[in-house]
Each structure stands twice: as C-alpha cells, then as structure tokens.
Structure 1
Amino acid sequence: MYYSISIDYHLASPADLGRVDLTEAELEAFAAELRDAFGIVELFFLKTCNRREFYLVSDGEPVDPNGWVPFFEGRFAGEGRVLGFRLREGQSCVRHLFEVASSLASLALGEPEIAHQIKQQVAAARSAGLVGKYLGALVDAAVRAGKRVRAETQIGRQVVSPLSLIYRQVRGALAAFGGKRIVFVGAGPYMRRLVPHFGRDHRFEKIFVNRSPSDMAAHFGGMAIGLDGFLANPPEFDALISATGSNTVLFGRDWLERTGRGKRRILFDAATPPDIDPSAADIPGVSLLLPAGLEEALRRNWRERQCEIPKAERIIEEELARFEARKQSLQISQWVSEIQDYFARVPLDLAGKYLAEASHPGSDVVSRQEMEKLLSRIGKRLAVIPILSMRGIARSHGTEGVRAAIEAIGDGSALFKDASLTRLG
C-alpha cells in the first residue's frame, strides 16, 4: 500500500514549510524510526520551495495510518504548533504524485522544475537504500506521466516559470536605479537553474557565495567568496539572491543595516526557511522580494493554459492504468520468481535421474524414444502448477475467474491463444 504525508504552500507559510526538513543522515534515522513504529520499508522525501511530501510503503502487514499525522506533527511542528499535514492512501496517493510530477499541482502550471527535483531527489534516496522496487516504480511512472503531459499538450508551452519571474523582478528593480552587481548565495540545484537567466544578460556582475568551495564562479563567470568571508567583509552589491538549505537566518537586519549604510538594495529570499531576516523589508532603501510575490503573475499564466488540463488528466488516467498493471506484477513478483526457479530446477533434476537410468554403461547417447519419454515426464510434472492454479481460481472466483486467467495466458503464450471459451459460459 502506498501512503503520503504532505504539506504545501496552500497549508503552510514558508517558515512553517522550512520546519519540515531533514539532512541525509537525519532522513535515514527518520526512516528507521518509521520502520520501527509503523512498519515502513520504503521512504521518499520530496522537498521543494512550495511543498514537503513523504511517500511511504508499508511492509505488507495491515496498518492503521490514523496516528501518522499526529506523529509527523509532533516530529516537525514543535510544542503547541500544528502545521497541517495531509494523509493520502492508495490510489489517492498515487494520483497525487502523478499530478505533482505533471506540474498540475504547481504554482506555475506546466513548469519543468518539479520533474528535475523529483529525479534528483529519488536518485539520492535510491543511493541511500530508502527507495526500493515499489516506490521506485511509482516515481518512475509519475515522471513518465509528467513527461507525456508536457510533450503531448500545450500545458508547458510559453510557461512563465518562477525562475524566469525572479529574473524579471530583480532585473526590473535594478534597472530603476542602475544597479548591476548581484550576489548569489548557495550552490544547490535551484541556484544552478536560476543563474543562467542572469548569465544571458551581460550587464550584470556576479558574485557567488557559498559555505564551502563550489564551481559556480568558474562555470557561470564571476567572483567567488566563502560565506564566512562575505559576512565578515562583504563587497558592495546591488542585489542579493539567497537559496540555501540553512536552518537559521544568514542575513540579519543588523548586518544588512550595517553593511548597506542606506544604499539602495534588492533582496530576494528563495530559501525555506528564510535566509534573510523578514524585518529587512522595513530597512530604508531595501526592497525584499519573496516567492509569494510571484503568485499573481503565476496564476494569470495558469489561467491562460488551464484549457489544457483535461488533456493532461486523460494522459494521467492512461498512465495510472498502466501503473496499476505494473503494481500487480510487482505484488506477485516473489511468487513469479519462485515458479520460475521451480520450473528451471525440476527439468534438471528429472533429466539427471532419467539419464542415469536410461543411458547404457559407458555411453552418453540417449535414443529419441528415451528422450521423448523424458520430455513427456517433465511436461506432466510441470503441468501440476497451472492445474492447481486453475482449480484454485475456479474455487475462489468461479468460471469468470477461469475465463480471465485463460485470456491472460492466451495473450502471452500459444497456450489458449485460439481456445474457445464457450464451454465456460
């Protein structure tokens, strides 16, 4: 069974979203905690600026997920707070991830960033051993659905992405007073996708700040400074864009006032939790921009392409059906493997015994008649498995169940391919 525990920009502020965060080591420890408490065997944590979602698979034993939301609230909300986690189970959980991967649940309808984030984060989860065959199949199917939606509809055409809007906002604000020196704080995937928007505009001078050395300056062109050095002795700048994974504010009001000295500055805080003290908006000369300020433009762009949503939903329905078949295959995969091993082992065992009995002393040659007897004996032994299966299906599901089994066999092999099913009526 698939489950998800999620919270997004509809239910929480950026600061509250920032509370739901885990380092790689913390995530592995949390996965062990969930395994002990609830029998969770697979875990995928999806983290973006606008959402935090945990996708879970239980060990197959009956579970009662009613206590999960309070458990997650207690883990992340802290004393006396409620964040507003939402639980989804089964098909509701699966459909939700398909919609997220297709960007139908994004602020910017059709934006491609979510697909990159899912791929990158599930790869890390696989490497850590948190994602197995069940969640792996689910994420792969959701990514495939998203790819089809963007390729087969106009939903991703001329989309206004949050990254392009950040560029437009900062560029417009700088143009008002002739500013050109921009500081980019952070070296994660988000910043690496944002900087190229500015890189195409040669009017800007770029300074890259990160806690540890990075290749940002060499890759995009500009000057590199360590975070500690920047905080201690910052060069003059006109704009600062920050998107780090810090759990604490990096740029406090006192620091901004002391280093700015009343100079006009543009600040954009894309981090969750915030990297910049929210009270910086009250500093004279400072304009603090936040992702929430992009929502109106994104909604307007969303309305322009909402007519494509029914097409996207039809694709999702097709991919959901495809995934359902895949899920059924996964659920019986252990038994399929055991049957395959049995069918491979029995002929070898029988052949060894029969050849020992049929071969003449000192000869490795077996006559055609003897070989036919051997193959017939093997065939009858192996036929026991499908015969027992058919009888079990008939007892549990009647002739309609047998009819479905025969049709499924006929679809994949010569057996029953041309069989008449009228006798089952």
Structure 2
Amino acid sequence: MSVWALGLNHTTAPLDLRGRFAFALDQIAPTLQSLRSSFGSGRHPQVEAAIISTCNRTEIYCASEHAALDHTFGWLAQSGGVAPALLRSHAYTLQDDEAARHAFRVASGLDSMVLGEAQILGQMKDAVRAAETAGALGSTLNQLFQRSFAVAKEVRTATEIGAHSISMAAAAVRLAGQLFEDIHQTRVLFVGAGEMIDLAATHFAAKEPRSIAIANRTLERGEKLASRFGAEAMRLADLPSRLAEFDIIVSCTASTLPIIGLGAVERALKARKHRPMFMVDLAVPRDIEPEVKALEDIYLYTVDDLAQVVQQGQANRQAAVAQAEVIIDAGVQSFMHWLGQRGTVPLIQQLNAQADEWRAAEMARARKLLARGESVDAVLEAMSRGLTQKMMHGAMAELHAGDAASREQTAQAISRLFLRKER
C-alpha cells in the first residue's frame, strides 16, 4: 500500500495561484468524486482520497496499491486551469513516510503561517469528515489522519508550541491599532459569517469599537453571529451603498470572485472625504480586488501580508518545535510499521481461509467416524493427526525439494516458524 500527497501553501505559492485551487467545504465531495473517477480502473481501481483546503494551503492525500503522483498532479493542474509546469514550480509532492510526516506537522501547527496555531487541526478534521461522507476515505487514510490528530494532541500537551502564538485575527487587530489610535472610536464591518470571521469579530469586539456590523449573503446566519456581539446584521447586497460608513472592513467569504470592487471603494473614499480605511482580506480566492491596495488612504492587507506580524515571537517557540519533531518522528515510524503490516493482510487472509478449510474437512471426517460408532478417543486422535499432517505437508515437501542452498533457506524458515520456544 502506498500513500502520497501533493499541494501548495503560503510558503510555496502566491495568493492568487492558491486561490485557483481553493475548494469550499461543499465542493469537496464532488471534487473528490472527480479525482477518484479520473483514475478509472486498471492499475488504480480503488484510490482513497482527501482534500484539505484552507486560506493557506490546498493539499490532496491519496492511498492505493500503487502511487500515482504524476496522474494526481495532472488532475490538480487541470482542475485549477493552469499549466502543469507552472503548478510544478509552486507545488510539493510527498510519498509514504514523508507524506505522513507532513500530515503530522500540518496537524500539529508546525507548517502553518502562525506557528503552533490550532485552527488547522479543526480544518483537517472537517476535511476528513467531508471525505468520509463522500465515501472517499478508506482504512489507510483514516489511519493516517487519526494518527495525525493523536500526534497533534500529544504535541500540544507535551510542548509549548502554542505559547505566544498570534492568530491571523489578533494580527489584524494589532495592525488596525497602528492606524487608529483608539479602536474604541471606529466602526467595524465584517463580511461573511464563517469561522474566520467569528474569530476576527471576537478579537475586535474585545476592543469595544463604536459599532459592529456583519454583512452576509444569508441574513439569518449573519443575524445569528451579530447577536453574539450586539452587532447589526445587513445583507451583502447593501454593502456597496454602506461601505463608506466603516473605518475597518474584515472580509472572508467563500465567493469565487471579489465582492468588494475598486469602484465601490473609490466611491466610499469620496463619501468619507478620504478618511482612511483599514481593510483585511482573509479570503482565498480574494474578496477584495487587489487594485484597491493602490488607492490613497486605503490600508489593505491580505493573508500573506500578515505573515510578518504573525511570525513575531517565533524564536520563543523553536525549542518547542524541536520537541514536537521528536514526537512526530515517533508517530511516523509507528504509522509506517502499520502500513508495512498492511501488505501482509492478503496472505494472512489466505492462511486463515486455508486453515478453516482444513478444519472443516477434519470436522466432517470426525463426525462420520462418530456416526459409525468409533470411540471418541480414536476420533480425536485421527482428527489431530489429520490436521497435523495437513499443516506439515507443505513444509515437509519443501524440505525435500530444490537444491542444497534452497533447502537450507527452507530449513531456517521452518525452524523460525515451527520450532519457536514459547516464553
């Protein structure tokens, strides 16, 4: 059995390229179906697959009897509508122990923009549930991910990897504080109502801004989140006409196209008499057109722009990283041992089937002897002798076959298998 992974993340690919490979949670099932169907039958009849897609990464994990990295790579390039050469220059491919190590590091927060952040673990669990619901998760990938979750838990329990961690939301608040002397006097708008916006709203609400509004495509979901912060809920369609009211805009939706355009921001600036606006685009693909950043009095940050802020304090966590890597190495060795044992499963099944066949034959023979009036002791003796002869026949035949060298190898194998002393 082979496991392989490929993907691109915040360290290997620019934001706009990552945006071409971003999959919303409700897109995972059909995307997995497309991927698995692309293998067809033949050499890869049953490929397990899972997709992790976040603002910082898109990764595909697969498992099958034989690895198919090139095929998976070609499928991903086609799905994103980019040339394979371009994707290859920004992607990474991993197999077996390296794929397992990468999954464990991702789950533990060691491969994140925010070292030690915990959000990725929840996102991985969501991805695994989506793959399971889609029927794409087999025993091998399930084992890989369950072990990655266990390793992540051990890393967080045994090390201080999460200490001093600065989240994307906290980084946004810090940057806003550099622009506005008193966030308490600002009006804040959140666009979207997902997990990232929930986190960002929690951090900004702690600064007690003058007002908070939440714009969402589904008003009911926006109202539910707004009620937690004493905020106003508004429809996404009202966003262009009301943009000028807000000093801080934080956006993170699942839209495949920008929802805040250059024209809308220009009109808002004019209405505000060019009072500055602080904008954070946490979405991949982008929610805010990149041209907005060039406008005067606009301070626009994307997830990649926040990298420098969230890396502060990373030196304090390097000792914890070393501890975490030791835990991860042990987890990788354990998984690879399990994976290696999976290769013997068909043989074990065949041995069990053969043993059951022999047992059934001897049981049938014993019943016939008992029916004819043979004594129980004689029947048991005959049954035990019959089973022993069946078990030993193959080994005895091999000992008398072949040349001297092969007989010596057979003798050593039989000694290990049949002459072990029970402890």
Structure 1 and Structure 2 fold alike (TM over 0.5): yes
Aligned to 2:168: 162
Q: Is the 8 A contact 1:108 1:298 kept in 2?
A: yes
Aligned residue for 1:305, secondary structure, equals helix
Greater Cα shift, 140-149 or 201-210: 201-210
> Which is worse superposed, 241-250 or 304-313?
304-313
How big is the shift at 1:275? 0.3
Structure 2 partner of 1:208: 214
290-299 or 126-135: bigger deviation: 290-299
Match of 2:250 among 233, 241, 245: 241
- Counterparts in 2 of 1:357 and 1:219: CA distance versus 1, 3 Å: farther
Alpha-carbon distance in structure 1 between the residues aligned to 2:133 and 2:113: 30
Change (3 A) 1:88 1:170: same
The one-letter code matched in structure 2 to 1:291 is V
Provide the rounded CA distance (Å) in 1 between the counterparts of 2:415 and 2:122: 40
1:78 matched to 2:79? The reply is: no
Assess if the C-alpha contact under 8 Å between 1:102 and 1:145 holds in 2. Answer: yes
**Deviation larger for 312-321 or 290-299:** 290-299
Out of 104, 114, 124, the position equivalent to 2:120 is 114
Aligned-pair CA distance for 1:280: 1.7
Q: CA deviation at 1:269?
A: 0.2
Q: 1:42–1:360: structure 2 CA closer, same or farther, 3 Å change rule?
A: same
Q: Distance in 1 between matches of 2:154 and 2:166?
A: 19
Q: For the residues of structure 1 that align with 2:383 and 2:42, how far apart are their CA atoms?
A: 52
Deviates more, 1:264-273 or 1:63-72: 63-72
Q: 1:35 to 1:302 in 2, by over 3 A?
A: farther
Q: Bigger CA drift: 233-242 or 138-147?
A: 233-242
Residue number in structure 1 paired with 2:101: 95
Which residue number corresponds to residue 267 of structure 1?
A: 279
Offset of residue 270 of structure 1: 0.4
**What SS class does the counterpart of residue 304 from structure 2 fall into?**
helix
How far 1:165 sits from its partner (Å)? 1.6
Letter in 1 for 2:215: V
Cα pair 1:174 1:238 within 8 Å, conserved: no
Cα deviation 1:39-86 (Å, max 9, x = unaligned) = 37122111122221111223x24x564565455334425369713222
1-structure distance, mates of 2:9, 2:408: 44
- Checking the alignment, whether the CA contact within 8 Å between 1:3 and 1:89 is kept in structure 2 is yes
Contact (CA 8 Å) 2:366, 2:380: kept in 1 or not? no
Structure 2: distance between partners of 1:90 and 1:141: 14
With 194-203 and 46-55 compared, the bigger mean Cα shift is at 194-203
2:336 is equivalent to residue 330 of structure 1: no
**Equivalent residues in 2 for 1:122-201, closer than 5 Å:** 122-176=128-182, 178-201=184-207
Worse-superposed segment, 185-194 or 41-50: 185-194
5+ residue gaps in structure 1?
419-425
Give the Cα–Cα distance (whole angstroms) in 1 for the partners of residues 51 and 243 of structure 2: 36
Query: How much does 1:217 deviate?
Result: 2.6
1:121-168, CA deviations, whole angstroms, 9 ceiling, x for partnerless residues? 111111111221111111222222222222112222232232322233
Is the Cα–Cα contact under 8 Å of residues 187 and 211 in structure 2 kept in the other structure?
yes
Q: Residue 376 of structure 1 corresponds to which residue in structure 2?
A: 384
Tell me the SS of whatever aligns to 2:311: helix
Asked if structure 2 preserves the Cα contact closer than 8 Å seen for 1:17 and 1:273, the reply is yes
Match for residue 295 of structure 2 among 250, 271, 283: 283
Q: After alignment, is 295-304 or 375-384 more displaced?
A: 375-384
Question: Alpha carbons of 1:156 and 1:386: their partners in 2 closer, same or farther (altered >3 Å)?
Answer: farther
- Counterpart contact for 1:281–1:288, Cα < 8 Å: yes
Tell me the SS of whatever aligns to 1:110.
coil
**Greater RCO structure (CA 8 Å; 6+ sep):** 2
Deviation at 1:309, TM superposition (A): 2.5
TM-score, normalised by the number of residues in structure 2:
0.81
- The question of 1:30 aligning with 2:31 is answered no
* Mapped contact 1:239–1:267 kept (Cα < 8 A): yes
Counterpart-to-counterpart distance in 1, 2:346 and 2:382: 29
Other-structure match for 2:261: 252
Task: Give the letter aligned to residue 297 of structure 2.
Answer: G
More displaced stretch, 80-89 vs 40-49? 80-89
Task: For 1:345 and 1:37, locate their aligned partners in 2 and report how far apart those are by CA, in whole Å.
Answer: 31
Q: Tell me the alpha carbon deviations over residues 255-299 of structure 1, each in whole angstroms, 9 at most, x when there is no partner.
A: 122244234322110011110012222334322122233222333
Q: 1:196 to 1:395 in 2, by over 3 A?
A: farther
Question: How far is 1:345 from its partner?
Answer: 6.1
What does residue 422 of structure 1 align with? Answer: none
Deviates more, 1:314-323 or 1:141-150: 141-150
Alignment partners' CA distance in 2, 1:165 and 1:381: 74
Aligned to 2:308: 296
Whether contact under 8 Å (2:277, 2:298) holds in the other structure is yes
SS at match of 2:284: coil
What is the alpha-carbon distance in structure 1 between the residues aligned to residue 358 and residue 19 of structure 2? 58
Name the counterpart of 1:7: 8
Q: Tell me, yes or no, if the aligned pair for 1:103 and 1:112 is still in contact at 8 Å.
A: yes
The one-letter code of the counterpart of 2:77 is E
CA contact (8 A) 2:189 2:246 kept: yes
Cα separation, 2, equivalents of 1:161 and 1:304: 16
Q: Percent identity?
A: 22
Between 63-72 and 249-258, the greater mean CA deviation after superposition: 63-72
Taking the aligned partners of 2:260 and 2:186, their CA distance within structure 1 comes to 20
**Higher deviation after alignment, 228-237 or 316-325:** 228-237
Q: Secondary structure at the match of 1:96?
A: helix
Contact 1:35 1:41 in 2 (8 A): no
CA distance in 2, matches of 1:150, 1:37: 43
Query: Are the counterparts in 2 of residues 198 and 204 from structure 1 also a CA contact under 8 Å?
Result: no
Deviations 1:13-44 (A, max 9, x none): 11110011342323422332244698371221
- Say if 2:42 is the partner of 1:41: no
User: Tell me, what secondary structure is at the counterpart of 1:328?
Assistant: helix
